Amino acid sequence: MSTQAHSAGLWTLAWRRLLGDRVALVSMSVVALFIGLMLASSLDIVAADWNDEIAVGYARPSLFSATAVTEQAPEPEAVSAVIPQVGAGDTAIADPAAVLKQLGLDDIKITDPLAKELDQILATTPAPEIKPREETRPFGADKWGHDVLLKVIKGSETSIFVGLAAALVATVIGTLLGAVAGYYGGWLDDLLNWFYSIFTAIPYLLLILAIAAVLDQKGMTTIVLILGLTGWTGIFRLVRAEYMKHRTREYVQAADAIGASNFSRMFRHIFPNVSHVSLVQLSVHTVGFIKSEVILSFLGFGVPVDKVSWGSMLGEAQNELILGYWWQLVAATLAMAVLVTAFSMFTDALRDALDPKIK
């Protein structure tokens, strides 16, 4: 390595500034922790068993006295309350008539064509394993007895993934369109500005809801696309201004002189000089989209019902609060507040670190 040949580049300097800033370090670690949890959760390393009903419904949060309940806890569904007792004890059923009565099937006569089948089903149904349910969990449990901590981790997977992916879509669209508009100018600029004016004429949330109304299939991809396809306007404007500033600079003229194509000038020469704008915007939009996802999922226009997100947790918590079960609300709120605070502080630090004016 040549020692003094290169002075440190923008990214090295920015990285050094970030490492020297205590607030940036702490916030960066928190964000990294959340993203690590998200990845671990999506790979089923942690919180894979969040869907297990390990505690009684609405188990209270407590760090101590986690006594296990060995007898059958009351379950919300009537059928499952009966079935476990069917096979409890021996596999042979002692009193078939009583069992049938319990199942509400005692009107089936032995002459019934399906009677044999029913007998078979009753005989072969294995005794469901009754797991002891816990009275308390460190962070409490929800209506079905899911551990709230695991649920929060699983929810972070959805919320952070949607936020990051949507921000990436918006940043890529905004940067590409901004580069084209700012670099070429002329009718392309007019056309893209027309798009911009259309998208900004409709209030953001209204536009999102209108698209959600039209797309009837719900899913992670849908919500990422909705947020990404509507959220590019601010980035477009900033990147366009940067490209307009840079396109007449001498280094771009020099690139032109050595025969660089338009594409190469736009992305190999100019882009490294404006990429910090895109990076900061990526960070800003991630925070914004995490918040938007929570609201959309709460309203029921976000992720599908079988996915947990912080928004759907808040939706459940709204009804639980009236019954006095506050822990799911607190857990989801805290997780989101910590992540968003750290992410906002990290964004501010990133902006400062990348600002060439501070040296």
Partner 1 sequence: MSAFLLRRLWQMVPTLFGVILLVFVLFNFVGGDPAYLLAGKISNPAQIESIRNQLGLNESYAVQLGIFIKQVVTADFGSSWSTNEPVSQIIATRIGPSLVVLIPILVIETVLAILIAVLVAYVRSSLTDRAIMVACTVAMSVSLLVYIIVGQYVLAYQFGWFPVQGWGESLRENLLKYAALPVLLGVAVGIAPNVRLYRTFILDEVNQDYVRTARAKGLDENTVMLKHVLRNALIPIITNLMAYLPALLIGHFLIERFFSIPGIGREVIMAVERSDFPVIKAITIYVAIATMVINLLTDLLYKAVDPRVKLQ
The residue ranges that bind partner 1 (CB under 8 A) are: 194-195, 197-203, 205-207, 209-216, 291, 294-295, 298-301, 310-311, 314, 317-318, 321-322, 329, 333, 336-341, 344-345
Give 188-217 as a DSSP string. HHHHHHHHHHHHHHS-HHHHHHHHHHH---
* Contact partners, residue 317, CB within 8 Å, separation at least 6: 325, 326, 328, 329, 332
Contact 53, 146 (CB under 8 A): yes
Nearer of residues 136 and 156 to partner 1, judged by Cβ:
156
In angstroms, what is the minimal distance from the CB of 289 to partner 1?
Answer: 13
In angstroms, what is the minimal distance from the CB of 208 to partner 1?
Answer: 10
Nearer of residues 108 and 198 to partner 1, judged by Cβ:
198
Contacts of residues 260-265 at CB distance under 8 Å and 24 or more positions apart, as own/partner, are 262/183, 262/184, 265/183
In angstroms, what is the minimal distance from the CB of 130 to partner 1?
Answer: 36
Nearer of residues 134 and 157 to partner 1, judged by Cβ:
157
Nearer of residues 152 and 345 to partner 1, judged by Cβ:
345
Nearer of residues 255 and 287 to partner 1, judged by Cβ:
287
In angstroms, what is the minimal distance from the CB of 32 to partner 1?
Answer: 17
In angstroms, what is the minimal distance from the CB of 340 to partner 1?
Answer: 4
Q: What is the dihedral of CA 108, 110, 113, 117, to 10 degrees?
A: 90
The number of C-alpha atoms within 13 Å of 234 and in the hemisphere containing its C-beta is 13
In angstroms, what is the minimal distance from the CB of 318 to partner 1?
Answer: 5
Question: What CA–CA distance (Å, rounded) separates 268 from 12?
Answer: 19
Please name which of 321, 237, 244 lies closest in space to residue 281, comparing C-alpha atoms.
237
141 strand-pairing partners:
147
Nearer of residues 22 and 109 to partner 1, judged by Cβ:
22
* Contact partners, residue 51, CB within 8 Å, separation at least 6: 146
